[in-house]
Amino acid sequence: MNAITDTPAFTPSSRAKVRRRPQRARYDEKAVFEILDAGVMAHVGYVIDGQPFVTPTAYWREGRKLYWHGAAASRMLATVAESAPVCVTVSFLDGFVVGRSGIVHSLNYRSVMAFGRARLLTDPAAKRAAMDDFIDRLYAGRRLQLRPTTEAEIASIALVEMEIEEASAKQRDGGVGEKPADEGWAPWSGVFPVETRIGAPRPEPGMGAGGAPTPDLAPYAEGARLDAALTSAAATAQGLPVST
Amino acid sequence: MNAITDTPAFTPSSRAKVRRRPQRARYDEKAVFEILDAGVMAHVGYVIDGQPFVTPTAYWREGRKLYWHGAAASRMLATVAESAPVCVTVSFLDGFVVGRSGIVHSLNYRSVMAFGRARLLTDPAAKRAAMDDFIDRLYAGRRLQLRPTTEAEIASIALVEMEIEEASAKQRDGGVGEKPADEGWAPWSGVFPVETRIGAPRPEPGMGAGGAPTPDLAPYAEGARLDAALTSAAATAQGLPVST
């Protein structure tokens, strides 16, 4: 993750600049988008009367914009003025690193911190398009199979758009660090990788057509890595016609 | 998760009170601790000059106190006054819920939002004890096998303690919701469960004793569910003598 790439960069101000272990940080779109497109659950941070809140919520990305709805949207937007500063963080735990002294113990991870200002989507057509895009980002082509969303349902949804102003990506993926003083100590040392995978599908009794999952659900095949499934679904969605 | 239990409760003020889908919320210690003890990565939210930051970081729990160190500690504590209000959120993605209309699509998850005030640990003995506790919380008995941490290493670590003042636990673990208007629509409907598990251990070449992982690492056996491994390790740690 430390190589310089030629994709557009998010120029970090002091806000996004990684202070601790800066050698693990990158600020280019490729690094940031790769991590964002491999996830579905973000932790959205916002401030109400000086109190920070961190709400886990489903999100998706379109270009340099992030979207989310639900709990984070409702509490945040019921209380905070428009253009509230937010921090959206997405992270993956990739492994446990155990070594010969306490200080070299670590976790392998990937993460993005994205900063911007939250804006409530209010136009019903824009909200409908965004919700369609979310379904298709996860399950390409699925919205065409669904009972159309009603106007009342669109009205009931709080939906936020945030243009990413700055972002940083950070990753640790190596083996065990060592200190000169560790020499000669012999506890088991190494890495326990951690992987998140899809389990066996559970069709809902009495609902839908039954049988095997349809092609829109193909990335979520039993045993698939979740980050790979979401990355693949995002790539497919980018090839779909834009929703109307 | 909706049953009333008789464990001590975190009485929620408006800060911790769950607004959206309150039927999914609980405020008792049992529900909150179960989720906290099943995780190792938290998202710590804090505010610097009105700007929210959400930093992913390793954490652990002792009674009603949470601890973390590293990046969140260093940025937060370099900039924010003591007793900074923080929100520590821990979440697990448990599944994708797909149904017959856009609005019933959902995620299964477990999450805790814990509120309190961050306090920097400065006493070297307290910092050493906390770091030992963290090693033992994850790998019971391991600290006795490690090269002892030096005073300089203790001094180099920024370590935060937060007493949980309020907390809420929230969970969705059901099947597909339905709306009357969904009747007759037949896309595949159901749940794709998501599980995080430990992979094959990777011993560090040229370091440590090699061979099979030692008993302190037993919870992280290949194929173990991560949340179960961390829960089991936490339970074992609570039976260990207190570090000195």
pLDDT-derived band at B14, boundaries 50, 70, 90: confident
Q: What is the pTM of this model?
A: 0.93
Look at residue A239 and tell me whether its pLDDT is greater than 80: no
- Is B98 within 8 Å of A193 when comparing Cβ atoms? no
Please state which of the ranges A103-112, B64-73, B109-118 shows the lowest mean pLDDT.
B64-73
Which tens digit of pLDDT belongs to each residue from A123-181? Answer: 999 999 999 999 999 999 999 999 999 999 999 888 999 999 999 999 999 999 989 99
With contacts defined as CB-CB under 8 Å, which chain B residues touch A118?
none
User: Nearest Cβ partner of A46 from B52, B95, B153?
Assistant: B52
Look at residue A212 and tell me whether its pLDDT is greater than 60: yes
- Is B202 within 8 Å of A193 when comparing Cβ atoms? yes
Residue A39 half-sphere exposure, CB side, CA atoms within 13 Å? 28
User: Nearest Cβ partner of A189 from B88, B176, B204?
Assistant: B204
pLDDT-derived band at B244, boundaries 50, 70, 90: very low
Please state which of the ranges A25-29, B28-32, B225-229 shows the lowest mean pLDDT.
A25-29
pLDDT at A71: 57
Percent of chain B whose pLDDT exceeds 70: 92
User: Nearest Cβ partner of B85 from A52, A105, A208?
Assistant: A52
Structural domains of chain B ordered from first start: 22-92+110-175+211-236 (2.30.110.10)
CA distance B19 to chain A (A): 7
pLDDT at B128: 95
CA distance B45 to chain A (A): 6
List all residues 6 or more positions away from B205 whose beta carbon is below 8 Å from its beta carbon.
Answer: none
ipTM of the complex: 0.92
Q: Mutation target for A interface from B80, B139, B147, B153: give the one with most A CBs within 10 A.
A: B147
What is the arithmetic mean of pLDDT over B98-118?
Answer: 96
pLDDT at B24: 84
Chain A residue with CA closest to B211: the answer is: A188
